[in-house]
Structure 1
Amino acid sequence: GFVRQSNFLIALGILNKMNDAHGDISKLLTMKNLFLPGGMGDMFKVLIQHKGVNSPELIGLRRMSEPGLAREIEEC
């Protein structure tokens, strides 16, 4: 099924990328717009399909209920 863009990007490590961009306000604001509630993170969904292969474990599809993910978003 679909997963919210915000969950997908956080699971992929966008918060770590934001730490790397520390000091570049323009870059930080652009990245925040991709996943903050009420923005693009809620409007867009991600769908990944596969055929003819075993179901791959994709890091971007981890659930927000995993330890640490919800806390990470609160800290940004």
Structure 2
Amino acid sequence: MEQIDLKTKHKSQTTITEPFSFDTQGHSWLLAFGNGHLSIEAGDKHLDFNRDRPVRLLYTPKRGFVRLSLAHYKERSQ
């Protein structure tokens, strides 16, 4: 998993093998996940992905999760 804090521009990568949670700190985030099964719970919303390609998401406190194309992910990560 790659996560980029859009407020601080801090970028980190982690290999996830067990359930994982993180504090959004009220910031917007770019998140990228490799292929395979991905299940996200945020408040009362549940997103489920089982893909053979990576999943890229934008998280904002107001809108929650929005799926991004590779081009939009790269554009926002600059």
- TM-score band, normalised by the shorter chain? under 0.3
Q: Which structure has the bigger radius of gyration?
A: 1
Normalising by structure 1, what TM-score?
A: 0.27
Structure showing the higher strand proportion among its residues:
2
Normalising by structure 2, what TM-score?
A: 0.27
Structure showing the higher helix proportion among its residues:
1
